[in-house]
Amino acid sequence: MNSTLASGEALLLGSANKLGASPSSVAVLPYGLAAFATTLLSLIAIVSYQPKVHDKSPPFTLDTSPIIGSLGFLTRQWSFWKSATNGLTQNFSFRLGTRHVVGITGQAARKMFYDNPNLCFVSQAIIQPFGVHFWPPVHAIFKGGFHSGHHNTFFLRRLMELLKTEELRKVLPKALNDARLDLGDLLGSGSKSSITSAPDIWRTVFKQNARLTFCDEVVDSSELFERCAQDIGTLLHTYSHYNVLFNWLPAPSYIKRRLARWDLVRLVTKMVNKRIQENTPSKDDPLQKLINNRDNKDHVIEFFVSILFIATTNGHVIAGQLLNIMAIHPEWQEKIYQEIKTAVQTHGKFQEGTLAEKLSLIPLEAWETSFPTINMVLKETIRMWTSFSVTRLNTSSEAIPIPNTDQVIPAKTFVIYNSTEVNFDDKLYPNPTKFDPERYTEAREEFKQETYGFLGWGQGCHACVGMRWAKLQQTILVATALSMYQWHSCDANGNPDPYVKHRRILDSDHAFHLPPAYCKLTPREVW
């Protein structure tokens, strides 16, 4: 008797044949699915693997997600920080992908963060979503031991040589000319006013930095400048947040940054080789100085690629924001304008030319001492616009104790401090969201109540080597801008904005990228 129930094998074969598939192809299908599932599970296991951490590491924050870790560290820095520190009262740990990171809070921990020589500033770049470097490994120019100095690096040694008084004096006329010409281009021929976005001043900042730290050719040749500026602009304004979590992720922004760096290296290499072939030892610029030193060519190329980006990173943000602030606060604009006229009267009263042209008669020493109001405005701008996560790497093989706790920063572990904690502290900066340059007058200076109460120029082992040039550059830009125009805050159409207010978005995920801030420029009366 024929059975009405088919066997499992017969049913499978019959179904397969009806679908037009061969028995062998169907048999392979489960194996393909198994292989795919195995691969997927292996990938998940790899990216979600979390190495064991030191027993005395601070506790992990709950503000985290499976596999990726604490993305809030990158996308909402201040909110994440306040949550993780439980209102700035405790240290904490978190992960970026598989990396363990320690967050510290409080005055004692802050001092340790800036003073401990084993907390490396250079190596931390791997957990920042921007920059010119793609480490590890860290390039040799950033490693200690150059000329027998434990903390003396090739990069710092050569940079300090380029920042000597005689070098600043030589670049001063060119920096002034760059500022005057570029700011002059903001106003069309015959126009009575113009609308601009303050952050666009970054190209002038880059020009001045290139003259001081590289060579004039890259600025004076329009072809070279546009190519170099495009590469630097990509590195400054393109962010790869997810590559901080997984550096192998082929994100579009990451690829753009890699290509920009590759092109910048090609450009600098070509210029170095050309100068070597020209054999012009008497030429007086930074490029020739390093060649005359007989420095390793790879070191020379890496130095220039690095400094072109590093020198412009903070400078372009501060310059753009200073001009925006001048437009918002006409009372401070007027005070600075009076300082400019006083300085010019002292050094070039009887000379012909516009007020902006007469700035060239002010000597270097006077540039550094004649503008106290610019200095106060600059410090307040820096306080508000350098408020973000600052990172280090414990490069030693030993754990570093966190003061006043039984916790540690484990060996080979990243550590962060959010400078907003001190920059917007009500005790050190009363009414911290208010733009108030008078905080820095001798009668006040509330920030001196704590060690390292002002972090604008770095502190301890990592004070800003380029501070003198940075101050001079910002003073030149502000003085030139205000000597040429009155600045008024407006909307994109040039209409006055009665509700405008200087704001610092503390949760910005782009610490070095300014939103448009429109300003209307009106030429000054001839003085």
Contact 152, 280 (CB under 8 A): no
Strand-by-strand arrangement of the 119-120 sheet: 92-96, 99-103, 414-418, 389-394, 119-120
Q: Which residue has the tokens 């290139």?
A: 210
Q: Kindly state the tokens that stand for 181.
A: 């010409």
Helix (H, G, I), strand (E, B) or coil at 392: strand
Task: Indicate the pairing of strand 400-401 with strand 194-197.
Answer: unpaired
How far is residue 341's CA from residue 422's CA, in Å, rounded to a whole number? 36
Helix (H, G, I), strand (E, B) or coil at 131: coil
> Is 519 annotated for ligand binding?
no
154-162 and 202-213 are packed helices; what angle lies between their axes, rounded to 10 degrees?
Answer: 100
Contact 261, 235 (CB under 8 A): yes
Q: Look up residue 300 and give its amino acid.
A: V
Picking from 228, 201, 226, the residue whose alpha carbon sits closest to that of residue 213 is 228
Terminus-to-terminus CA distance in the chain, angstroms? 118
How far is residue 453's CA from residue 432's CA, in Å, rounded to a whole number? 13
Q: Look up residue 11 and give its amino acid.
A: L
Sequence-distant (≥ 6) Cβ neighbours of residue 253 within 8 angstroms: 238, 239, 240, 243
Q: Which helix (H) or strand (E) holds 486?
A: strand 485-489
Q: Phi/psi at 111 (nearest 5 deg)?
A: -65, -45
Contact 156, 483 (CB under 8 A): no
Picking from 78, 467, 479, 132, the residue whose alpha carbon sits closest to that of residue 313 is 132
Alpha-carbon dihedral of residues 413, 414, 418, 422, nearest 10 degrees?
A: 50
How far is residue 356's CA from residue 340's CA, in Å, rounded to a whole number? 9
How far is residue 326's CA from residue 329's CA, in Å, rounded to a whole number? 5
Radius of gyration (C-alpha) of the chain in whole angstroms: 28
Annotated binding site for heme: 464
Annotated binding site: 464
